[in-house]
Structure 1
């Protein structure tokens, strides 16, 4: 079994990555207008300028029962905008749930969508928007890049976790629970028009979810930075996100009610989202998606378990980039050599996981499944992910064995 791809495949994939980079320069990805809790009136004015009188509020039952969407629903109703609540979104939203949300939008004559929740809720809202824009085409026919090509209804994303960055990305992930398949749809039109960053909505999150979603954002930032398609803008956003997470996640775990630190984590998630939606992700995500599809491992947890293992497996192929992250974030000493800087970065990631009670292995993984998981991860990553270097199946299997409890 090969450790690397053939030179011919590697050349083809790098040519594809170069084409993606050129396309990004020619057709820049839209950036959502971002508002804070103190700017709700400004956001409302923009919503009304879009002639929206009735919004579909997409959330989940847990958040609805906690009353988290109530502030925004009351704000909208008080200001003359009707709302219909659809709370039938589960983690890793299934195409059936998206269809139900689509019907709720149509049946209530809604004119816009506000997503209040984590990545699953925001992704589902985008996909409901896709169904509205392309009503004659099943979602399964739109998976991949640039197949929607139609304007969506106005979407406002309100993240209640600081991790996925879905409020600024142009992609959304759907599941088919019958087939254990997860697939992504990506197109510029999927970027939400507005993002509301309200740290008070993240205050009730359990520490473990706070940590795993922050590790998701950290993975976005690091994979965007070490990939070959980084730009001056994405590198800047990635480094800012890394530093905000390293500085603020330990503080939030100690003082969960600290709104300033939670605001910093929300900003980090947003910056990391801006980075990876322009550069894509890497092997951590490729493997994590398979663990989510096969065993329903939460995405942030899968990324957290994998992050230091995958970075270590790359070895000196990415030492320079990792040392730059360590320097920017103040994790190492100026006089340290490159290996010491990388060691410091990896150790900080491990300590963050330990402080967050994030395990090093996943007991759900079956050894007999590893060849299939490795093949699926490789298929997802190649050619779409502009990774620093290409792995053959053997290296995917090696990583999976390392995180397999058995």
Structure 2
């Protein structure tokens, strides 16, 4: 019998292998075994492949629960052993010096459990009003739902700018009573939430309009959660599915194109006493209506346009590179969002009156919001939320600065997905390798930041705060976020120190 030539053989990344033996149990040729590692003095058991027996079926790579195995063309190993390559470099394929621990394995087990739970959750999408001036149609939509009095949640700046006036006039015409709470902080706090709850109850409101960027929307969701769970403070509602009761109906009117809060199940609230910023996540928090009116974003300063747009990009990129929770639908929404941002963000930044670019950016933010609602975000958000709570750093700015550094730190584990996004944007050609395409996409993000005058580093981080930042970021990120590479607290700290010292995380 003539044997078919082997084209690919397994490459096992031993610094990531958990020694779980799933690959051994599923290999049809018994060409993989669990042995002691031979590098870095590690004492963990890991998988090793006997390539002389391998038929290149790729089953081991498909069943590996932590993606520590990939198939490579025979002869592409550089003429040396895997151990030699790693020992000489001293760095894993993921950019950071990472090792698998029991905690990391438990994180992946949790994430795969979440993946299958996603299929049975009752996902829905808000009803959408689109187009210039459509916000004036909202009061009639509210009245059709038989609501009697509305709490409008917004911030003082939007009130001063008169951005609500068109909607308020329409509410007067529709004879729809309302009360305004305009005390929302840039990073909404539990105190803001309690003030809103008091107004809601005192004025016998039965629904809410969240008008503004992500802060008023998160605050409105927090108010709704507290109305539904009156005996629990905000900190007891943060986490996964801790509300589980209907909240007052929320109508979301975004005035920025970035957060996607009009279509998400998350609300990020800061505890005023400790400055700890964390999110509550529950399906009941998703707004029932989203109003995408580009005229509301026309007057945004270029600085706000740029950082909120980068927030939308971060949602799409993190959700896409996470991969684990996504269905095909979320992946497609990520790709569409990235392309819309590629084509329209700089246009909206340079010409705020470009209604087509403004509308497209709202669509991009909406799509990215839908995508990360299921696909989740990652360590960019875990670190960024902490900086927002501790220093008051604007969320979009933190996302813009951290995104390319975190993606580069993930290294090879994120290359394939980033390369696909590079192709979506037309940044690279078919003759370029996957690492080259991934780097081109990261470079595009960095170049866009330069053009929009976004800094490359966050100078507010203090050495004495590192342990607190790392603790909160790791607590938020693990085990929930299905990132390409799981970091321990030591690895979070290494990343942050490198950013502080050099201004980038290029290793």
Separation (CA, whole Å) in 2 of partners of 1:160 and 1:42:
16
1:18 is matched with: 112
Q: Structure 1 residues 134 and 394 mapped into 2: Cα distance closer, same or farther (>3 Å)?
A: closer
1:33 is matched with: 127
1:232 is matched with: 328
Instruction: Verify: 1:392 aligned to 2:488, yes or no.
Output: yes
Q: Is the 8 A contact 1:361 1:405 kept in 2?
A: no
1:230-379 aligned within 5 A = 230-379=326-475
Give the alignment partner of residue 111 of structure 1, picking from 192, 198, 206.
206
SS at match of 2:208: strand
Q: Which runs of 5+ in 2 are unaligned?
A: 1-95, 503-507
SS at match of 1:403: helix
Deviation at 1:229, TM superposition (A): 1.9
Q: Which runs of 5+ in 1 are unaligned?
A: none
Instruction: Verify: 1:173 aligned to 2:250, yes or no.
Output: no
Q: Structure 1 residues 353 and 163 mapped into 2: Cα distance closer, same or farther (>3 Å)?
A: same
Deviation at 1:404, TM superposition (A): 2.1
Once the two structures are superposed, what CA deviation does each residue of 1:332-388 show, in whole Å capped at 9, x if it has no partner? 223222122112111110011111111011221112322332232122211011111
Give the alignment partner of residue 49 of structure 1, picking from 125, 144, 149.
144
Separation (CA, whole Å) in 2 of partners of 1:395 and 1:317:
16
Q: Is the 8 A contact 1:3 1:394 kept in 2?
A: no
2:33 is matched with: none
Deviation at 1:3, TM superposition (A): 4.2
1:65 is matched with: 160
Q: Is the 8 A contact 2:139 2:176 kept in 1?
A: no
Q: Is the 8 A contact 2:264 2:286 kept in 1?
A: yes
Q: Structure 1 residues 39 and 206 mapped into 2: Cα distance closer, same or farther (>3 Å)?
A: closer
Q: Is the 8 A contact 1:5 1:390 kept in 2?
A: no
TM-score for both structures, normalised by structure 2: 0.77
1:143 is matched with: 238
Separation (CA, whole Å) in 2 of partners of 1:72 and 1:41:
5
Q: Is the 8 A contact 1:362 1:405 kept in 2?
A: no
Once the two structures are superposed, what CA deviation does each residue of 1:249-295 show, in whole Å capped at 9, x if it has no partner? 11112211101101111111110000111011111111111111221
Deviation at 1:136, TM superposition (A): 2.2
Q: Is the 8 A contact 1:244 1:268 kept in 2?
A: yes
Deviation at 1:41, TM superposition (A): 7.4
Instruction: Verify: 1:159 aligned to 2:254, yes or no.
Output: yes
Deviation at 1:405, TM superposition (A): 6.2
1:186-225 aligned within 5 A = 186-225=281-320
Q: Structure 1 residues 375 and 100 mapped into 2: Cα distance closer, same or farther (>3 Å)?
A: closer
2:16 is matched with: none
Greater C-alpha radius of gyration: 2
Q: Structure 1 residues 63 and 307 mapped into 2: Cα distance closer, same or farther (>3 Å)?
A: same
Q: Is the 8 A contact 2:136 2:166 kept in 1?
A: no
Q: Structure 1 residues 218 and 205 mapped into 2: Cα distance closer, same or farther (>3 Å)?
A: same
Q: Is the 8 A contact 2:235 2:271 kept in 1?
A: no
SS at match of 1:135: coil
The number of residue pairs the alignment matches comes to 405
Q: Is the 8 A contact 1:170 1:277 kept in 2?
A: yes
TM-score for both structures, normalised by structure 1: 0.96
Q: Is the 8 A contact 2:134 2:292 kept in 1?
A: no
Deviation at 1:193, TM superposition (A): 0.5
Give 1 or 2: higher helix fraction. Answer: 1
Give the alignment partner of residue 479 of structure 2, picking from 373, 383, 391.
383
SS at match of 2:180: strand
